[in-house]
Amino acid sequence: MILLLMAVTLALQDDAAATEALATFDAAFPKAKDAEARAALVNPLGGAAVQHEKVVSKLNNLMHHNDKPVRIAAAQALKAYSSNSSAALKKSATKALIDGMGMAVNTKDPDVKEIIVGALGVLQDDLAITPLKTALDDKNFRVASAAVSAATAYKSKDLIEPLISQLKECEKTQKAAGNPTLKGKKPTSAKKDPNDPEELKLDRAINLLLPIKSSLETLTGQTHPNGDEWDKWWTKARPNFVIKRE
């Protein structure tokens, strides 16, 4: 009975702290002079003392805000739920991030997507697996790189195969770049256009190779020279492989 009373008391205290924080935010937010000032008001909502379902709901709404700095601040505040939060709150924060990630304004913005993907990795809720798989395929290097880092942090067996698949795709892109007949372009000695989609694709592939290999080695304790060898190993190891999560 005493433990139950203590739990109820703590829940009421948490509710009161969250309600007060939201009231303070709602009073100040409309008066903020610019986007940066509005974003600064969002930051305290990620604090451990006010982490609550009510606050998650507010941050979810802010992920849809017109101001990019506000959306970024909301994503960072939700990321803070990776520490000192219950599994239920982490799941709620993950849902809010995934919802925000699906908004058109964020889908087209690599700055916001990069932060969201990184947050999904540290929150470590199973709802994040599918979005992380999708992010590994993102054409933007920064987003894909964030997904590789998130996969490393997440430590899920379900992300090993997508990492291997992405490694093989990057190797294929790099190989094609060395043979102009394979990609139908000018020889690589020709002057490069930094905005050329093919050049961006090649740069992405080259710069992802080492991070992906490092991620696979960290997750599996294995070392293999290329994607094909990783694939052969995983085909045999997958049924009984277990990742140890702290």
Same structural domain, 26 and 60: yes
Say how many C-beta atoms besides its own lie within 10 A of residue 197's C-beta.
Answer: 9
Which of 104, 119, 154 corresponds to the end of one domain? 154
Q: The tokens of 244 are what?
A: 């140890």
Scored b (16 or more CB within 10 A) or e, 94-119 reads bbbbbebbeeeebeebbbbbbbbbbb
Region class of 195: left (phi > 0), else alpha (psi between -120 and 50), else beta? alpha
Say how many C-beta atoms besides its own lie within 10 A of residue 53's C-beta.
Answer: 14
CATH number for 109 = 1.25.10
111 part of a folded domain: yes
Distance CA(123)–CA(128), nearest Å, equals: 8
How high is the pLDDT of residue 197?
Answer: 86
**pLDDT of 25-72, one tens digit each?**
999 999 999 999 999 999 999 998 899 999 999 999 999 999 999 999
Same structural domain, 85 and 103: yes
115 part of a folded domain: yes
Same structural domain, 49 and 116: yes
**pLDDT of 49-61, one tens digit each?**
899 999 999 999 9
| Phi, psi values for residue 244, rounded to 5° | -85, 120
How high is the pLDDT of residue 12?
Answer: 35
Contact 78, 43 (CB under 8 A): no
Q: What is the mean pLDDT of residues 143-162?
A: 96
Q: Which domain holds residue 236?
A: 159-246
pTM of the model: 0.85
Which of 154, 178, 212 corresponds to the end of one domain? 154
Same structural domain, 139 and 77: yes
Domain count within the chain: 2
